[in-house]
Amino acid sequence: MLVVSDGKDLHHDTLYHLGIGVAGRADVVEAYHRALALKAHVEKPPRTTWKGTPLHELWLKDPDGNLIEIYARLTDLEYAEKPVDEAPEYLAPSTAS
């Protein structure tokens, strides 16, 4: 998704974030490990969030400061595991750069 303010050229301060959908939770975690191997900036480590649109998500930041969200929608079975307090569930040990 690209969000651009009317009349402005697209660059890092007019782009909120780029979202990239993947097949599932394992793909989000794999993207995290690949990002770490590349020494990419991890803005938020992989986690499952419940508020808003429930997702498995990972947030990265590119060298220009743009946010990149790697996400997967939850399966019905995963959604059924939603905690009462809706606290995020981290999917990998955090070693964010």
Domains along the sequence of the chain with CATH: 17-90 (3.10.180.10)
- Please report the pLDDT score of residue 66 as a whole number: 83
pLDDT digit string (tens) for 30-69? 999 999 999 999 999 999 999 989 999 999 998 878 889 9
pLDDT at 18 over 70: yes
Contacts by 17-21 with C-beta closer than 8 Å and gap 24+?
17/59, 17/66, 17/67, 17/68, 17/69, 18/66, 18/67, 18/68, 18/69, 19/68, 19/69, 19/71, 20/68, 20/69, 20/70, 20/71, 21/71, 21/72, 21/73
Q: Are 94 and 44 in contact (CB under 8 A)?
A: no
**Pairing label, strands 67-73, 55-61:** antiparallel
For the chain, give the mean pLDDT.
87
- Tokens of residue 34, six digits: 């690949």
- Please report the pLDDT score of residue 5 as a whole number: 56
pLDDT at 86 over 80: yes
- Please report the pLDDT score of residue 65 as a whole number: 82
